[in-house]
A and B are shown apart, each in its own frame.
Chain A
Amino acid sequence: MNLTRLTLYGFRNLAEQRLDFGDGLQVICGGNAQGKTNLLEAIFCLTAGRSFRSADDQILVGQTDGADEKVGYRLEGEIKRRDDALHPLLIFDQETKRRTFTLNGAPLRRVMELWAEVKAVPFVPADSLLVKGPPLLRRQFLNRFLGQKSALYRYHLQRFSTALRHRNAILKEMQRGNRGESLETWNGVYQEAAQALVDERAAAILQLAEAAQSFYRLLSRRGEAVRLAYQPASWEIGKDLAGGARREIAAGTCLFGPHLDELEIRLSGRAARFYSSEGEGRCLALALRLAEYRILCEDGGDAPLLLLDDALSELDGSRREALLDLLEPLPQSFLTTVTIDELPRRQREKASIFDVQDGEIKKRPDPAG
């Protein structure tokens, strides 16, 4: 799928403007703190329903020094797919703190409904936390990846998170000494959804590991062995639920289930979370994102949007070329860079280039005329 148009208002430091994007590589070029990441963030918000760096909509609203205070932000886009076009519209109202999200004019009840229609894979420098940060970030990665890949996963994820909240409420009551007449009943509902998530994760991680290894080989200097080890908080959730009930009641919360899973990443046999360097972490994260992208493509639908923030600066000459070669055949991809010199001439000539200065984004005229 291709983002053909984006209309911005009140988002971060970005000026109110309409942008038209082309096919293939879209290079976003500009100095530090000009708004490159903000632009990718706007695209991601509109396609995923939330930001990749802030959960708080108020932080996204453009702050100006006095004069024309923004009443919120508004993002609108046009996404062309093989057979149709989609028009997502996201509005955040600063005063009521309410967000409205519509797709082709129809309101979305849940953000996840969007994931069925529009797919996007981002990579940002902060993604090194995907490797070096807490397990929560890797679970979010898995949920987002599988949530885009499978309708059944979305269905079970939504059921699981509801069942989790209900089961926690029962355990809290029991911790206070009240009877939990329906605990056993809820164990059943909880376990069914939990098991479905665990099974889908286990299968997908095998696919992910293979793809991540090949991308890491391509992008890192030494190409060490990458292993992904799925560590479910409980393989046999049923057994643990029965046996662990006493501990769970004492804790007043669920102690077993996919909301506690870990996806361990190993590099040359060592846990990358603790041993990898910042650079290795970034490179591994990029490999994981590209793996996510490739697997989402394999499902035969439209290819997702690929949003790469500052992905070249960490790579040396030949790895840069390798990454750019990967991007070349894609229907559309976005890449930010501080200087266009990071791109070899061949790619520069084919790409659409946008210059960002102080939130103003301008398309560079086509050299061919």
Chain B
Amino acid sequence: MPVFPPSFSRLLEALHRLPGVGPKSAERIAFFLLKSSPEESEELAEAIRLARRSIRACSQCFFLSEGDPCPICRDSRRDPSFLAVVEDSRDVIAIERGGFFRGRYHVLGGALSPLDGIGPNDLRIAQLAPRLQDGQVKEVILAINPGVTGDATAIFLAKFLRALQVKVTRIARGLPVGTDLELADEVTLRLALDGRLEV
């Protein structure tokens, strides 16, 4: 067994903890960093440090932002009557990329997942209530992922929000379920049929 210097092992461990990085990739990245110029590693370390220091959750919508409130909450051209509830900041970015949604967001910080010990109090659900108080929001759109934990979260939110007397909708399920096309087609078709709309 080759023995790595302690500082190298520490680097490996830190990399290995990152999502999607297995032991092999951790090794590849670590060797790359050591072989490249010192400036390259400094730049990476600095970028991480700066991002950590300057990015915070927006105090209104909890989207990651450098300023507070975030640019979306600050933007007066946004339509205050629509509020999209999403699980994660990444979902905001995905919807923003489309450029068609003109309302504002609310980032829950995850989905209900009892297996991981995540209950309603671990999500930013209670924080929704004050945002609805001034009556500006006319419709809350649940832009929650399909899947078991997403569905449970949406059911919980729907009940919570109905008590606050606001219109609640959920985005339609039309995306392939799973990667297997034959399966996705059949199931998606069925779900789409179940969720059909009157015209």
Contacts and interface: CB of A to CB of B under 8 A. Distances in A.
Contacts of B183: 113, 116, 151, 154-155
B156 A151 contact: no
A185 B113 CA distance: 11
B152 A189 contact: yes
A155 to B, nearest CB: 5
Interface string A163-198: 101110110010000001110011011000100000
Nearest to A156: B187
A186 B182 contact: no
Contacts of B178: 109-110, 113
A166 B149 contact: yes
B155 A155 contact: no
A182 B159 CA distance: 11
Chain B interface main SS type: helix
Interface in B130-179: 148-149, 151-152, 155-156, 159, 177-179
B114 A152 contact: no
Nearest to A169: B114
A154 B183 CA distance: 9
A116 B183 CA distance: 7
B195 interface: no
B120 A181 contact: yes
12 contacts: A151-B187, A162-B149, A166-B115, A169-B114, A181-B120, A181-B121, A182-B114, A182-B156, A185-B159, A186-B112, A188-B155, A189-B155
3 residue pairs, one from A and one from B, having the closest CB atoms: A169-B114, A151-B186, A151-B183
Interface of A: 109-110, 113, 116-117, 151-152, 154-155, 159, 162-163, 165-167, 169-170, 173, 180-182, 185-186, 188-189, 193
Interface of B: 112-115, 117, 119-121, 148-149, 151-152, 155-156, 159, 177-180, 182-183, 186-187, 190
Given A166-B152, A180-B119, 20 more contacts: A113-B180, A113-B183, A116-B180, A116-B183, A117-B182, A151-B183, A154-B183, A155-B187, A159-B148, A162-B149, A163-B148, A166-B115, A166-B149, A170-B114, A182-B114, A182-B156, A185-B152, A185-B156, A186-B112, A189-B151
